[in-house]
Structure 1
């Protein structure tokens, strides 16, 4: 991949996977490795856990927007500092700050290590980043 292609791949994953209105495993397979591991706030999800996480999110989230405050690439690693604003189906809003390290190999996301901080929203949504 060229210098900025991994950063662009992360942005595509956010728009086409996380921003999609439903869970489409064909699209997920296009971007995410079957041996994917995600560590978020002390919780670990494998590929199937990630699919479950996406389905749980789609049950409660109507739409989301990602604002990348900073994004950097170093070899196979992409680091982001971003704000996710989600509009839930009940029209309430959850805003989360995320610091994440993504690892890309063979044009697929293989690992995500992230910390999240809820900036605004209901107490019940504190686990929105890892719910599955």
Structure 2
């Protein structure tokens, strides 16, 4: 596994799967110039931090299962599944295709498509909720 693919895998585990919202941890992996494009929605770094905070408010736990990962130079492509157990009850499963770009070991961009596989219809926005 390349350094870039390891870095993305570490970021998903440390930030998405961590039950606590930790902006300092986000800053360890994501550049302040970070941009994310999810299902036609655009988030800058601040928007991403807000997104993660909201997700942690809604979720009891989040699990990421990597289906496939490939990297070349500073680009990493992932296909992963996200299982979100919600505090109010219920579980949603989301299929994610993502293209991460890194610079100097930091994630600077992510282009992502998500598809709700199982869960409430309103959970189709879990990938960009704020």
- Which category of TM-score, normalised to the shorter sequence, fits these structures? over 0.9
Deviation by residue 1:54-101 (Cα, 9 ceiling, x = unmatched): 011011111111111110001110000111111111231010000000
The equivalences for 1:90-129 within 5 A come to 90-129=88-127
Counterpart for residue 69 of structure 1 = 67
The separation in 2 between residues aligned to 1:72 and 1:105, in whole angstroms, is: 17
The separation in 1 between residues aligned to 2:22 and 2:54, in whole angstroms, is: 13
The TM-score normalised by the length of structure 2 is 0.97
The separation in 2 between residues aligned to 1:29 and 1:4, in whole angstroms, is: 21
Counterpart for residue 78 of structure 1 = 76
Give unpaired runs (5+ residues) of structure 1. none
Q: Alignment RMSD, CA only?
A: 0.9
- Please tell me whether residue 45 in structure 1 is matched to residue 52 in structure 2: no
**Cα distance, 1:23 vs structure 2:** 1.5
The count of aligned residue pairs is: 130
- Off by >3 Å, runs of 4+ in structure 1: none
The TM-score normalised by the length of structure 1 is 0.95
